[in-house]
Amino acid sequence: MRAVTQVYEGGFSDAVFNSQEVFRALMEAMASPGRVVEIGKLAAAPSPISSVAASVAATLFDHDATVWCDKSIAGSVAAIGWLKFHTGLELTSNPSDAQFALIGDLETMPSLESFAKGTSEYPDRSTTIILQIDGFNGPEELTLSGPGIKDTQGFAPSQLPKMFVDQWAANRGAFPRGIDLIFVGKGALAALPRTTRISKKEA
């Protein structure tokens, strides 16, 4: 019974105001790659979806959105039920068909190449990937540069996909095609649009 009630609970208390707050945070993060933007605890989904991931999902997903979830999330009946009830999304089993992807376990996520990169005519028909992480004080700091960044920006997420720097170089090389990333931690988010250059910080 608890799993059933979890599906219906935890949505925005004020759908319009809360979604606007999250959307502004997302736009700020996209405009300033690597900048960590704090948001309040606005939505609460069943595990393993974090509060920030739930808030982003409730803002971006709707009945027109095609979403791919990794096994850690897709395997939770309550989590998927919450997403369906609060957003009306359409789930897909194919990452390359997804407008959005929600990743709970970066260790097992598919390569970036697996997701939609759009076309030269319609580069916006690509996947925006939402990555759940623990925070933004990871052991390895990346150096970011490119549009929206004055000189360089340090970025140290607690987790990264495997072979991330190489994968990202290939993704950026496909510009204007390519995927965009949103990292969601505890109480904050950050973004890496496809235009961002990444290098490992020199010792």
142 closest CA partner among 156, 124, 131: 156
Distance CA 99, CA 22 (A): 19
4: Cβ contacts below 8 Å, ≥ 6 apart = none
| Residue 66 structural domain | 2-200
Which CATH number does the domain housing residue 141 bear?
3.40.50.11310
Q: In what order do the strands lie in the sheet with 37-38?
A: 37-38, 188-192, 180-184, 128-132, 100-103, 66-69, 90-91
In this predicted structure, the answer to whether residue 20 has a pLDDT above a threshold of 80 is yes
In this predicted structure, the answer to whether residue 25 has a pLDDT above a threshold of 90 is yes
In this predicted structure, the answer to whether residue 41 has a pLDDT above a threshold of 90 is no
Residue 4 pLDDT grade (very low, low, confident, very high; cuts 50, 70, 90):
low
Q: How many domains does the chain have?
A: 1
Percentage of residues of the chain with pLDDT beyond 90: 87
Give the tens place of pLDDT for each residue, 58-94: 999 999 999 999 999 999 999 999 999 999 999 999 9
Residue 124 pLDDT grade (very low, low, confident, very high; cuts 50, 70, 90):
very high
Helix (H) or strand (E) holding 85: helix 77-87
